[in-house]
Chain A
Amino acid sequence: MASISQTEFSNVPDQFGRFGDFGGRFVPETLTHALNQLETEYNKSKDDPEFVAELNSLWADFVGRPSPLYFAKRLTEKVGGAQIWMKREDTNHTGAHKINNTLGQALLTLRMGKTRVICETGAGQHGVATATACARFGLPCVVYMGEEDVRRQAPNVRSIKLLGAEIRPVTSGSRTLRDAINEAMRDWMSSVNDTHYIIGSVVGPHPFPMIVRDFQSIIGQETITQSRAKFGRLPDTVIACVGGGSNAAGMFYPFVDFPEVELVGIEAGGLGSKPGQHASPLSFGQPGVLHGSFSYVMQDNDGQTCDVHSASAGLDYPGVGPEHSYWKDTGRVRYTDCQDGDALAGFYELARTEGILPALESSHAISAAMKIAAEKSPDEIVVVCLSGRGDKDAAEIERLQNEMAND
């Protein structure tokens, strides 16, 4: 394990987009110019008071930020351990954290003078958030979505269409998030001169992992402010689910230089630990290249990407953001996994004890938080990122329940 002084954790990536060894830019030459252009525009904009003010105003009045830090009192009592608090990203406009990033990138799109937007989506939350941002700014938008995800996240597909965006179902490969990213990249290869690709997670080539993390860091920053106001200190443990890892990166990044705060990322454990049963590259994978970046990934011995499984479309991805790989190898964040069945149990628990339907993705973090809190004392504080709402999952959860009942 590399030894890193605490102040260095936030000082990434370097100019080559490297988080330690991870990250970088492994893309066709055709895309390099657009990535350089995006990096230049972002570096200029992030320190431009006008850009910052515009984004803050959108976050406040359009998204409804800050999102609440909510005490889950009945859940805490039921678990009987540490206090469980929820960072309510599910209360955002469009129902998840994804909108934080899409508004930022939509502003960058306009600043770069680009006139069309494309994106990928797994659970459909990023698709809805991108379609929303594009509607808000009058940009045409194409959403690539795996055919399997079109089926299991139908409510979001409807919303995307209602918002005026075009859905392009992807029928190649496993017909999930990974294939949607491939198709979006291929579109971008041809359209790069007038199109911006609003990537939805902290994955892909530099500068995407940095930009998405920065836009999502509002989650962790608010949590710090709210914790100080409510508890007079920082939480003991902060927990978030990790697919590509954008809600977790946004939650964790502002905390990485506070060594007293324990950070725990929860991957999708799927049906078990055998290859193909889960989507947990940090727990079971190894470093390799996928979608333009060097990070932990599920690959075979030839470097071919493996099929993965998760009941939740948003976590059903064989790779993970490079900064998570960096945090794993440096030991700054502990990663563990939560299986489909436990996530489902977490969903029901939160629904029935707190009156909140969490997204199936977030349910992984909730289930893990209940286990972690149970081992702690009542004066300790656990914060979970409730990254999205679960309305989109209602039909799929019903189907999964029936499937389990029939097994």
Chain B
Amino acid sequence: MSKIDELFAQLKSQNKKALMPFITAGDPDLESTAKLITAFDELGCHICEVGIPYSDPIADGPIIQASYTRALNQGITVDAILQTLESCAPRVSLPMVTMVSYAIIYRIGLQEYVRDVVQKGVSGIIVPDLPVEEAASLAKICRQHDLSLIQLVTPTTTRERAKRILETSTGFVYYVSVTGITGERTALPTDIVENVTWLRENGDLPVCIGFGISEPEHVKRLSPVSDGLIVGSAIVRRVTGCEDKSQLIPEVTKFVKTLLDAME
């Protein structure tokens, strides 16, 4: 049982839902990344999703793309990011998950990447460009190391494929709320509830919703029908927009607190 499985078992027994903030590693710098993770933990967030910057992120909208570019322009490396996560691990109770392109995992080596992140205290990985057909080798290695391999289901996924993804995903299933790229949206599609309900009824895994969730109102509406929510661009935009570094943590935590409050 990974740390993520334990978390969701506990949340379920308390009839609670998970809030998962996403941040880009190294944006604006790794010191801030470490501070943000610690702050999310202290606030009572349940999982922190850490984006490993990638040069060609086709699933990401302008906000996360720009944050990746900024981090990469500073010469950030996977090694330095994992060292930062390692320094956070003993200080936080929330599981950390890396969002990482398969291009990066393949280049580093599947075995090596999984072994490294587990050693540094990471509990799960999300590989947004690795569909279920291509995931077998990585899934096997993740199982051996008890690292959750969180897979995605989208509005364009057929029910037949969704069943297969439910069978091979571990930790939770990431339901992508929109047909599109990451980014804030005011209106979210109406088929979310139907699709998430179907996924929860047809598998044993928790189902969490991400992409587009950016307002307390979204959280209020979607947390009752899911097991957790992921908020990315709305947080990254606040990190990016903060020009005075001393205000970064207060400003971001203030926003994340409004999301947590909306879950109550």
Contacts and interface: CB of A to CB of B under 8 A. Distances in A.
Nearest to B113: A303
Contact of A301 (B61, B69, B107, B161): B107
A374 interface: no
A290 B103 contact: yes
Interface in A49-71: none
A290 B56 contact: yes
Given A172-B65, A189-B179, A303 B134 contact: no
Contacts of A185: 58
Given A16-B133, A304-B54, A304-B72, A34 B156 contact: yes
A294 B176 CA distance: 25
A28 B58 contact: yes
A175 interface: no
Contacts of A31: 156
B74 interface: no
B129 A27 contact: yes
B59 interface: yes
B89 interface: no
Contacts of A24: 134
B157 A302 contact: no
A26 B77 contact: no
A277 interface: no
* Interface size class of chain A, counting residues whose CB lies under 8 Å from the partner chain: 20 to 34
Nearest to B178: A190
Interface residues of B, number: 43
Contacts of A192: 156, 179
Contacts of B153: 29
B158 interface: yes
B113 to A, nearest CB: 10
A289 B152 CA distance: 19
Contacts of B129: 26-28, 289, 292
Contacts of B255: none
Contacts of A294: 106
A28 B57 CA distance: 10
Contacts of B179: 30, 189-190, 192-193
Contact of B133 (A25, A178, A289): A25
Across the A-B interface, the 10 shortest Cβ-Cβ residue pairs: A303-B107, A190-B180, A303-B104, A185-B58, A289-B103, A33-B156, A304-B55, A28-B59, A303-B103, A305-B55
Interface of A: 16, 24-34, 172-173, 178, 182, 185-186, 189-190, 192-193, 288-292, 294, 299, 301-305
Given A26-B130, A26-B131, 9 more contacts: A25-B133, A29-B153, A29-B156, A30-B59, A30-B154, A288-B103, A290-B56, A303-B107, A305-B56
